[in-house]
Amino acid sequence: MLRNHYGHLSAEQVYNKLKEEDKRISLATVYRNLNLLAEQNKINKIEHPTVGSMYDGREYPHYHLHCEACDGLFDIQGLYLNELNDKVETQMKARILTHRIVFEGICESCLKKGSNVDGHLT
């Protein structure tokens, strides 16, 4: 279901969508399965600063931007993903399996609106 949905969903949102499809499942089962899939790197688990855990079914490597004005979470594709892994592996003499980065800032839509966040006029 996550792979067919654009965006990021909380466990509660996944649960509600399954209920809409008349699936009989408990919220605890949804949490358990989402966390298991995240541990297996089959889905992404992102810690949203205000909502908590969000889940993302997109398989391609990407980062995220959290907008401090609208609280949105947006995908960022293709920015130096492999290069960053390589540099950290070289510097730390380690093997990087994966990494997660969430940028904090103001999204394009909020910039156009001139949103003001914590004294930062956009």
pLDDT in tens, 97-121: 888 888 999 999 999 998 766 655 5
90 pLDDT higher than 90: yes
- Same-domain status, 69 and 47: no
Rounded CA-CA distance 15/27 in Å is 6
Give me the pLDDT at residue 103, please. Answer: 92
- Same-domain status, 4 and 35: yes
- Beta-carbon contacts of 54 under 8 Å, excluding residues fewer than 6 positions away, are 8, 9, 10, 45, 46, 47, 48, 73
Residue 94 burial class via C-beta count within 10 angstroms: exposed 0-12, middle 13-18, buried 19 and up: exposed
**Coil, strand, or helix at residue 106?**
coil
Q: Per residue in 19-68, pLDDT tens?
A: 988 888 999 999 999 999 999 988 889 988 888 999 988 777 788 999 99
Rounded CA-CA distance 15/90 in Å is 42
In a 13 Å sphere around the CA of 62, the CA atoms on its Cβ side amount to 17
Specify the pTM. Answer: 0.73
- Same-domain status, 36 and 68: no
Domain count, the chain: 2
Q: Which domain holds residue 100?
A: 60-122
Rounded CA-CA distance 14/54 in Å is 10
Single residue among 59, 74, 97 that ends a domain in this structure:
59
Is residue 81 very low, low, confident or very high in pLDDT (cuts 50, 70, 90)?
Answer: confident
- Same-domain status, 118 and 65: yes
